Chain A
Amino acid sequence: MGCAVVQWQMVVKDPEAQTHFYSSLFDWRVNSDNPLGYRVVDTGTAEGIPGGVWPAPPEGHNLVQLFIRVDSVADYVTKAERLGARTIIGPQTLPEGDMLAILQDPQGLSFGLVGR
């Protein structure tokens, strides 16, 4: 089974300003009507992948992450760690049912795993 990149995510200190900028620029629609209040970005086209915007802590920095869908988040966390990745947020069950983990690859880039 392949592991597709299914979503991008901007992690920024001012999510409201960020979504305002991109919505104004590209007519993207943002919907945060979900349990985490997550800003889901609809780019308005079937091309490409959807995205989202998440708040960064004041002590953090702005970044973009890619999310990869896997069949078992826990298994891929183990595999990634074996390959030198560092787990930032271990597998968590989101209110809508998916599992999520955030890792940092050996080059220092953070990425997400979603799945079951």
Chain B
Amino acid sequence: MTLRTIEALGQALRLPASTIERYVDHARREPEDIAPRNASVLTGDTLAAIPDWYHFAILELTHLAEFQPDSRWIARVLDISVDEVNVALQRLIRLDLLDMAARDRWVDSAGDARVSLQSLPPETIDQRQAGSARLSASAARFVPVTYREQTSITIAVNSSSLPRAFEIVSRFRQQLTDLLMEGEPDDVYQIEIALFPVTTLKRERTDRTWDAQ
């Protein structure tokens, strides 16, 4: 979202000038201050080419001490087929996200890439979110609560607090990532953080500015 769009949206919502300025400030600072350290944001084109969740899981597996450069092992630990692994490997290598540097060493060239859904084609967003939903549902059903945390809450909110909330989410995500990446990794997890409206009220209030996003 551009700074100009944020301003237009804020005015359409009749938000106080100070609140709009906080939104703008938040957006202006995001690339430097809020993105996780050492993280890169993959472009929409790249993400559109790797719609399934397990591509990133494969990259993350390469960081584990017990990683085996073996499609059969990857398929087993991710509970997907060997063919799915091999198709994913092709994509990752073609996109320069994975390098089979030696027979026993595969390198995650993506680094700690952060996935931003902005600028993705709608069908890619649908596919990614559907994949995440399936993973989440599967974890909720089959993974003991000792190994996961899954909560959801629906609440009435004061929208003027959203900029601050987004900031808190960003910092929380960073702290969580830092904590979980301390020491030697021995498993791969997915962190899903979502805060979004469940009503159409903002669309009704903002009219044209909403469609311009």
Contacts and interface: CB of A to CB of B under 8 A. Distances in A.
Q: Do A and B bind each other?
A: yes
B90 A35 contact: no
B100 A36 contact: no
Interface residues of B, number: 21
A56 B83 CA distance: 9
Main secondary structure of the interface of B (DSSP, over half): helix
B44 interface: no
Interface string A6-27: 0000000001100000000000
B75 A37 contact: yes
B103 A96 contact: yes
Interface in B66-89: 68-72, 75, 82-83, 85-87
Interface stretch (A61-69, A71-79, A85-93): A85-93
Given A32-B82, A94-B100, A37 B71 contact: yes
B90 A95 contact: no
A97 interface: yes
Interface residues of A, number: 21
Contacts, number: 50
B93 A37 contact: no
A84 interface: no
A78 B160 CA distance: 58
B193 interface: no
Main secondary structure of the interface of A (DSSP, over half): loop
Nearest to A56: B87
Contacts of B70: 35-36, 95
A51 interface: no
Contact of B90 (A15, A89, A94): A89
A93 B101 contact: yes
A93 B102 contact: yes
A36 B75 CA distance: 10
B29 interface: no
B91 A57 contact: yes
A36 B70 CA distance: 6
B165 to A, nearest CB: 38
A92 B103 contact: no
B99 interface: yes
B139 to A, nearest CB: 25
Contact of A89 (B85, B94, B102): B94
Interface in A31-72: 32, 35-38, 54-58
30 contacts: A15-B83, A35-B71, A35-B72, A36-B70, A36-B86, A37-B71, A37-B72, A37-B85, A54-B86, A55-B86, A55-B87, A56-B87, A57-B90, A58-B87, A88-B94, A89-B93, A89-B94, A90-B93, A92-B93, A92-B99, A93-B100, A93-B101, A93-B102, A94-B100, A94-B103, A95-B69, A95-B70, A95-B100, A95-B104, A96-B103
* 5 nearest CB pairs, A to B: A37-B82, A92-B100, A55-B83, A35-B70, A37-B71
Interface of A: 15-16, 32, 35-38, 54-58, 88-90, 92-97
